Amino acid sequence: MKNQVQFSSFCLICKKKVQVTELGGFFLCTSKNVRSHQVKESVLGGAPFAINNNAYSALISCLYSSELVSLPKASALRSTMALKSFVEVKPDSHFSIHNLPYGIFKHGGGDTATPRPGVAIGDYVLDLSAIHSAGLFDGPLLCSSDCFHQSNLNKFLELGRPAWKEARATLQKLLSVDEPALQNNASLRQKALLPMDEVEMLLPIAIGDYTDFFSSMHHAKNCGLIFRGPENPVNPNWFHLPIAYHGRASSIVISGTDIIRPRGQGHPSGNSPPYFGPSRKLDFELEMAAVVGPGNELGKPIDVNEAADHIFGVVLMNDWSARDIQAWEYVPLGPFLGKSFGTTISPWIVTLDALQPFACDAPNQIPQPLPYLAEKISKNYDISLEVQIKPAGEEKSFTVTRSNFNHLYWTLTQQLAHHTINGCNLRPGDLLGTGTISGPESESYGCLLELTWNGTKELPVGKTSRKFLEDGDEVIISGICKGNGYNVGFGTCSGKIVPSLP
């Protein structure tokens, strides 16, 4: 198995030394002398473990024989003791030492304003170019790489999971309370640990291609009911393959960028001709998106069971949508100008390694997917998502929906494998949107189209209400995984609607 990590550790329950093998992000206890009843009662924790002289944060589940840790147990893994950083991390911070998401930032003016990679820790950004220049990336894969001296993360993504793991181990060790190298080096600390409110975040990746899936069954059903009626709201193909459209990479913007209300042809009502003008039905879509790692050669699909090695991490995404333009133009080829005027992503890419403790079972798929989509382990992540709207002139923002990543029917790995099954090549930095993440209840719908049922009812927003977005509205998406005493969060993904061109 590729990229397998093996190590021995100490079982806190059976008090014996055990051999542990990591398999696709899961931990397999290969010790023969561990009794099964101990497994049912508890899951072990302990970190960091030493492997190849690198501090390695890992969790093991105590299983007898060679059974894999099952997914429901994975949620119990998060009850493990929180690691501690010497950098202050407030209890509600999204950026604990368990997280360490990657972004691209610039700081100050002149030479220091060069865009470069960083990770978030508490209220600080750790400058990875400074850490590399100081010789602190001392692992075999990163010590002589220039991937942290780039203005985007693509080169780091291309290196693949072994390098990502090496970076995570190095950074978790460097930032831990027990490690003096950075903690006791005042001049390096001043250079490398920058207050987050002093930096400007930029797009973290150069996005060659962007695809948007349609993976929430609740969203598919609601859109079907609204656009196509109650006969067959979900097309039969939906249950056999992850449906998607090819999006527009050039208009993907970083959180905080204003969105100009698009103009276009709107859907005619009755026998009237289509209208042209500023969209009258501007909407947000609550989504997340996977960032592609090494990718594949043209003509060589990625196996679904190896797809996780091609996903570096996940961001929050808002697929802004003009519903009047979309409804008129998208038959029969799919979304075009109704969605290509802007897509916002959050600045911090949370890695799959950081999300691992929050893995949970993906829904049962009926009918069973074809073999190329059938996964040995099919997982989602328990990520709480929220959308707020801040109307112009308001001090406060108001929550309009709450959902969870685990409502997705098709998994990230199925989406990626399906994307390549015809031989299509994915490249480092490509972005795969999940599709709107709607849950089953009306309070968990992921866009205004559903929340107001295509403008047939008003949605309360503080003292006012909305059918669709108005000029001056700011839409703020946030996402967080809550561990025991720490968070793995995504920060926010926001954008404000400004008036259309005259």
Residue number with CB closer to Ca ion (49 or 214): 214
Q: How far apart are CA 201 and CA 346, in angstroms?
A: 9
Residue 343 binds which one of Ca ion, Mg ion, ligand LGMQ2O6W, none, with CB within 5 to 8 A depending on kind?
Mg ion
Distance (Å) of CA 260 to CA 370, 469, 496, 497: 42, 12, 8, 6
Residue 132 binds which one of ligand LGMQ2O6W, Mg ion, Ca ion, none, with CB within 5 to 8 A depending on kind?
none
Name which of 354, 363, 376 is nearest 489 in CA terms: 354
The minimum distance between CB 243 and ligand LGMQ2O6W, in angstroms, equals: 8
Q: How far apart are CA 137 and CA 146, in angstroms?
A: 11
Residue number with CB closer to Ca ion (212 or 353): 212
Residue number with CB closer to Ca ion (26 or 210): 210
Determine the straight-line distance between the first and last CA of the chain, rounded to whole angstroms. 59
Kindly write out the interface string for residues 278-307 of this chain, putting x where it contacts Ca ion by CB under 5 A and - elsewhere: -------x----------------------
How many residues interact with Mg ion (rule CB under 5 A)?
Answer: 3
> What letter represents residue 312's amino acid?
F
Catalytic residue among 94, 219, 310, 418: 219
The minimum distance between CB 340 and Ca ion, in angstroms, equals: 11
The minimum distance between CB 232 and Mg ion, in angstroms, equals: 26
The minimum distance between CB 214 and Ca ion, in angstroms, equals: 7
The DSSP string of 150-172 is SSSSHHHHHH-HHHHHHHHHHHH
391 with 470: CB under 8 angstroms?
yes
- Verify binding: residue 319, Ca ion, rule CB under 5 A: yes
Shortest Cβ contact with Mg ion: which residue? Answer: 343
The DSSP string of 219-268 is HHHHHHHHHH-SSSSS-GGGGTS--EEE--GGGEEETT--EEPPEEEEPP
Known catalytic residue at 98: no
Shortest Cβ contact with ligand LGMQ2O6W: which residue? Answer: 435
Around Cβ 425, how many Cβ atoms within 10 Å? Answer: 16
Residues that bind ligand LGMQ2O6W (CB under 6 A): 212, 214, 219, 223-224, 227, 285, 287, 319, 321, 335, 435-436
Task: Annotate 308-338 with b (16+ C-beta within 10 A) or e (fewer).
Answer: bbbbbbbbbbbbbbbbbbbbbbbeeebbebb
Residue 233 binds which one of Mg ion, Ca ion, ligand LGMQ2O6W, none, with CB within 5 to 8 A depending on kind?
none
Residue number with CB closer to Ca ion (155 or 219): 219
Residue number with CB closer to Ca ion (147 or 408): 408
342 with 320: CB under 8 angstroms?
yes
> What letter represents residue 486's amino acid?
Y
Give residues 303-342 in contact with Mg ion (rule: CB under 5 A): 319, 339
Give residues 90-109 in contact with Mg ion (rule: CB under 5 A): none
Instruction: Tell which phi-psi region holds residue 71, choosing left (phi > 0), alpha (psi between -120 and 50) or beta.
Output: alpha
Residue number with CB closer to ligand LGMQ2O6W (132 or 323): 323
The minimum distance between CB 289 and Mg ion, in angstroms, equals: 10
> What letter represents residue 205's amino acid?
I
The minimum distance between CB 214 and ligand LGMQ2O6W, in angstroms, equals: 4
Q: How far apart are CA 381 and CA 102, in angstroms?
A: 19
- Span interacting with Ca ion, options 98-106, 113-121, 237-245, 311-319, rule CB under 5 A: 311-319
Residue 219 binds which one of ligand LGMQ2O6W, Ca ion, Mg ion, none, with CB within 5 to 8 A depending on kind?
ligand LGMQ2O6W
Distance (Å) of CA 99 to CA 25, 48, 59, 249: 15, 15, 15, 27
Residue number with CB closer to Ca ion (175 or 290): 290
The minimum distance between CB 28 and ligand LGMQ2O6W, in angstroms, equals: 35
Residue 313 binds which one of Ca ion, Mg ion, ligand LGMQ2O6W, none, with CB within 5 to 8 A depending on kind?
none
Member of 166, 212, 283, 309 binding Ca ion (CB under 5 A): 212
Name which of 35, 94, 83 is nearest 59 in CA terms: 83
Residue 357 binds which one of Mg ion, ligand LGMQ2O6W, Ca ion, none, with CB within 5 to 8 A depending on kind?
none
Please compute Rg for the chain using Cα positions. 23
State the greatest distance between any 2 C-alpha atoms of the chain, in Å, as a whole number: 78
Residue number with CB closer to ligand LGMQ2O6W (173 or 339): 339
Residue 98 binds which one of Ca ion, ligand LGMQ2O6W, Mg ion, none, with CB within 5 to 8 A depending on kind?
none
Q: How far apart are CA 17 and CA 297, in angstroms?
A: 42
Residues found near Mg ion in the complex (CB under 5 A): 319, 339, 343
Catalytic residue numbers, as ranges: 219
Residues found near Ca ion in the complex (CB under 5 A): 212, 285, 319
